[in-house]
Amino acid sequence: MKLDEITHLINTDPFVQELTAAPIPARLAYIGIDGHPRVIPVSYLWNGTHFVFASPPDWYKIKSIVAHPEVAFTVDTTDFPPLILSVRGTAEVLFDQGLPEEYVEASRRIVGEDKMPDWERAVRAENRNMALVRITPTWIKVVDFVSRYPGPTPS
């Protein structure tokens, strides 16, 4: 699939829309500086062209992604049958971003609207400087068990 096809799918597929709007972190896979694979949860958002998340610039995952920009992640539900979005892509790290609005918005789904005002006030008071990670998707797989990998049909 080409980038414009991937972007179109992400922007229009109802199952992808459901997953990217849900309070589910992405489980990001990357290669550490030591050459070993890692998987961690991250609060992310889709901005229409890239998946983005932010992190303090000196954290291990940022240093690792700068060294090894090829990443993968999944966003999936835990109910049955699961909805699954798997993505591979190339990450670009932008430094000296202050507190990116993308970080705040990505956190909103995970933190929850009821706790968000206190969380946001505390985060903004810290005057954080974050690195913004933009992932350009190069491959995508959606499993919904309805139109892709359908389950058995009732008799």
Which DSSP state fits 152?
A: P
Give the mean model confidence (pLDDT) for residues 26-32. 98
Residue 15's pLDDT is 94
Residue 98's pLDDT is 85
Band of residue 1 on the pLDDT scale cut at 50, 70, 90: confident
Top pLDDT among 40 and 151 is at 40
Output helix, strand, coil percentages for the chain, rounded to the nearest 5.
Answer: 30, 30, 35
Average pLDDT across the chain, whole number: 92
Give the mean model confidence (pLDDT) for residues 66-89. 95
Distance in angstroms (rounded) separating the CA atoms of residues 91 and 89: 6
Top pLDDT among 123 and 41 is at 41
Kindly calculate the radius of gyration of the chain based on its CA atoms and give it in whole angstroms.
Answer: 16
Top pLDDT among 151 and 14 is at 14
Q: What are 129-139's pLDDT values in tens digits? A: 899 999 999 99
Q: At what angle do helices 101-111 and 116-125 cross, to 10 degrees?
A: 150
Measured between its terminal Cα atoms, the distance across the chain in Å is 36
pTM (two decimals): 0.90
Q: Which residue has the tokens 């489980």?
A: 27
**Is residue 20 predicted with pLDDT exceeding 70?**
yes
**Is residue 60 predicted with pLDDT exceeding 60?**
yes
Give the mean model confidence (pLDDT) for residues 49-71. 96
Residue 65's pLDDT is 98
Residue type, 104: V
Go through the domains of the chain in sequence order and give each one's CATH number.
Answer: 3-143 (2.30.110.10)
Percent of the chain with pLDDT over 70: 96
Q: Could you tell me the two tokens for 32?
A: 């550490």
